[in-house]
Amino acid sequence: DVKVTQSSRYLVKRTGEKVFLECVQDMDHENMFWYRQDPGLGLRLIYFSYDVKMKEKGDIPEGYSVSREKKERFSLILESASTNQTSMYLCASHEGRGHRDTQYFGPGTRLTVL
Amino acid sequence: DQQVKQNSPSLSVQEGRISILNCDYTNSMFDYFLWYKKYPAEGPTFLISISSIKDKNEDGRFTVFLNKSAKHLSLHIVPSQPGDSAVYFCAASSRVNTGNQFYFGTGTSLTVIP
């Protein structure tokens, strides 16, 4: 079974703090994704990565950056957290381009920015 | 612009009856569709998928129907059970971007009443 883990289930931070969210997958997947989920807005893609050190902006990259130094690990960074970044953050992985398969999601991190 | 839409934010159904969740898309390049189920404080889990070469795919109590001309898909759950109560997301991708981009709807919250 594919396993995607996220470093924290719940996180509370203050405005202006730098926040790191980490995601690790154990299936040697090529692609990894960061989404945020907000009520009424569904899942919105922040960034994705299709290879080590490669990244692509999603629909809402502003205020976020990412890092993929190793294939199994994809980090989301909030350089200076703001209250409008309070959300559920979901990491996902996928086998890679051309593969008709599902994405596998981690359990999510509920981030609250005060 | 939302390329995948779920116009019903919520749905309530009696236990044992059929649940029908709907999803519309606008991009004619989409040719692979997925449904995910999400419980609170958990990541989405894959439920069922369908390729555009088919118009129906069945897996136990879950059936997905695809109407390409109408750009519409639906998920049928028969019979509905209380454990089916969750948020359901539909998602779509295209052959060109398979594995690289998934577009999600805003979700439908299903409540199955015992």
- Domain harbouring A11, CATH code: 2.60.40.10
Is the pLDDT assigned to residue B99 strictly greater than 60?
Answer: no
Pairing of β A109-113 and β A10-13? parallel
| More confident: A86 or A59 | A86
Name the phi and psi angles at A77, rounded to 5: -120, 130
Shortest CA gap A61–chain B (Å): 15
Is-contact B95 B78, C-beta < 8 A? no
Number of domains in chain A: 1
For A22-38, the pLDDT digits (tens) are 999 999 998 999 999 99
Q: Do B43 and A96 touch (CB under 8 A)?
A: no
Does residue A111 sit within a domain? no
Name the phi and psi angles at B97, rounded to 5: -115, 25
Average pLDDT over residues B53-60: 95
Does residue A60 sit within a domain? yes
Minimal Cβ distance to B99: which of A40, A99, A104 = A99
Mean pLDDT score across all residues of chain B: 93
CA distances in angstroms from A103 to A17, B9, B15, B92, listed in the order given? 30, 23, 30, 11
In the A/B pair of chains, how many CB contacts fall below 8 A? 68
| CA separation for the pair A99, B59 (Å, rounded) | 21
**Which residue range(s) make up the domain with A12?**
4-97
Does residue A113 sit within a domain? no
Shortest CA gap B34–chain A (Å): 8
- Please report residues of A whose CB lies closer than 8 A to that of B6: 42
CB count within 10 Å of CB B43 equals 22
Structural domains in chain B, CATH included, are: 4-113 (2.60.40.10)
